[in-house]
Amino acid sequence: MTLVKLMRWESMLGLVLVAEVVLFSSLSPYFLNVDTLSDASFNFTERALIALPLALLIIAGEIDISVAAIIALASVTMGLGAAHGVGTPGLLGLGLATGLLAGCVNGALVTVGRVPSIVATIGTMTLFRGAAYAILGNRVLKEYPGSFAVFGQGYLAGPVSIELALFAVFALAFGLFLHRTRWGRAIYAIGANPVASRFAGLDVNRYKFALFALTGLFAGLAAVLLTSRLGSTRPSIAQGWELEVIGIVILGGVSVWGGKGTIMGVVLAALVFGLVTFGLGLMNIPGIVMSIFTGALLILVVAVPAWLQRR
C-alpha cells in the first residue's frame, strides 16, 4: 500500500517539490527568505488560478487555448474603463464580465457550433488578441485609480498576498467540487465517455458550456490581478501564458485525453513551476533555459505515462 501511494502522481510531485527546496536553498541563501518567497508567489498564482477551471475543462475532454488572449482583452477593457473614469469596483466588474463573455463565446462555438475546442479556441485566441491590438495599437494605458493596486499588490496578512490567499481558497473550493459532489463525478464521466454520459441522462453540452464560461471568468480574474500588479495595460500582456497554464494542468496529472486528474495534482504542479522559476531567477538563469526545461518536462509528463500504459 505504501508503494502504491508513493507511485501516485501527486506523491511524486510532492517529492519533486521537496527536492527543489533542498536544491535551491543550498544554492542560494535567499531562497528560504519568507518575504522573498512571498514575492515569488506572484510568479505563479495568476496562472494557477486559471489552471483550476481549465483542469476541469480538460478532464471533461475539452481544452481552451485562448485564456491568455482573454486576459489581454479583459485588461484592455479595464484600461479603457479607467481612462473614462470608472472606479475600482467597476473595473473589477469589467474584467470579470469580459472574461465571462469570452468564455461563453468559446462554449457556444463548441457546444452549439460543434467546432472542435482546439480549433475554436485557436480561432478565438487570434480574435481576442487581435482585438486588443486593434483597439490599443502600440499604446499603453496607465490611468488606473490608486485603490485598484490592492488586488495585485496587496497583502491579506503578513507575507500572505491577496493573490495567494485567493488561490488557496479557490483551490480548496475546486477540490471539494470535483472530488466531493455529483457534478464533479459527472465531469469525470463526460471526459471518460461522453456518449455513455448522454445515454445516462447527463446534459453534456450544458456541462461543457458552463466549464468554458468558468474558465473565461477566471481568465478575467487573472486579468484583474495581473493588470493591478503591473499598473498598466498593453495588448501584449500575458503573451504565451496559454502554454504555461496548460503545462501546469498537464504536469498536475490531468490526462489530455480526459477523464483523469486531481486538483491536488494541479496545485502541486503550480508550486513546482513557481519554485523552479523563482529558483532559476535567483541563479540568473536565462529565460530561454526555463522554456527548454518546461518543454522537455511536458514531453516527459505526456510520454512516460503513455509508455507505461502500453507496457
**Is 7 a residue whose pLDDT tops 60?**
no
Mean pLDDT of 112-134: 97
- Please, which pLDDT band fits residue 109 given cuts at 50, 70 and 90? very high
The answer to whether 280 and 289 have CB atoms below 8 angstroms apart is: yes
pLDDT by residue (tens digit) across 203-228? Answer: 999 999 999 999 999 999 999 999 99
Query: What is the per-residue pLDDT for 36?
Result: 80
Q: Where are the domains of the chain?
A: 33-310
Contact 212, 56 (CB under 8 A): no
Whole-structure pTM over 0.95, yes or no? no
Question: How far is the CA of 137 from the CAs of 140, 231, 236, in angstroms?
Answer: 9, 18, 10
Check if the beta carbon of residue 234 is closer than 8 Å to that of residue 140. Answer: yes
Position 99 scores a pLDDT of 98
| Chain segment 180-203, per-residue pLDDT in tens | 999 999 999 999 999 999 999 999
Residue type, 262: T
* pLDDT score, position 308: 64
Q: What mean pLDDT is reported for the chain? A: 91
Please identify which residue in the block is written with the cell numbers 455513455. 196
The pLDDT of residue 65: 96
Q: Which residues contact 216 (CB under 8 A, 6 or more apart)?
A: 64, 67, 70, 99, 100, 101, 102, 103, 104, 105, 106, 107
In which band, very low, low, confident or very high, does the pLDDT at 46 lie, cut at 50, 70 and 90?
very high
Q: What is the pLDDT of residue 2?
A: 41
